Amino acid sequence: MRRLGGQHAVHLHHEGELHSFLPGDTVPEWAAERITNPHAWEPPTGAPAVSVTAEEDEDADSDQGDLDGIPAQAGPGASRARWASYAVANGVAVEEAWKRDDIIAACEAAGVRVA
């Protein structure tokens, strides 16, 4: 069985009944098969932390971006590293191969503010 992550509830009908699952809940196999959004799940235990290369980190310490902590989408402060940190801090799992735009899209899909 898997545990839900993110910030949203999931509601499914099964055998004539409505079932609701909240973030952190362990869901039965029948429900896990029907939840297709990969961002709905907690990262696996022991999943590698998001790594940051020197190029990606060049502006990670900069104060660019929104006052609410939302990184800029272009220009100074718009690095992959900033977006990865922001996504993880907001409960969005980040794949190692994703580029900045992929992370922004995952945040949007998870209902996390991006602008």
SS3 2: strand
In the block, residue with structure tokens 């996504």: 87
What confidence tier does 60 reach under pLDDT thresholds 50, 70, 90? very low
The pLDDT value given to residue 44: 62
Average pLDDT over all residues of the chain: 79
What confidence tier does 32 reach under pLDDT thresholds 50, 70, 90? confident
What are the backbone dihedrals phi and psi of residue 102, each rounded to the nearest 5 degrees, phi first?
-65, -40
Measured distance CA(103)–CA(21) in Å, rounded: 25
The pLDDT value given to residue 63: 41
Residue bearing the bigger pLDDT, 77 or 94: 94
pTM assigned to the model? 0.46
- Average pLDDT of span 68-82: 85
What confidence tier does 48 reach under pLDDT thresholds 50, 70, 90? low
- Average pLDDT of span 27-42: 85
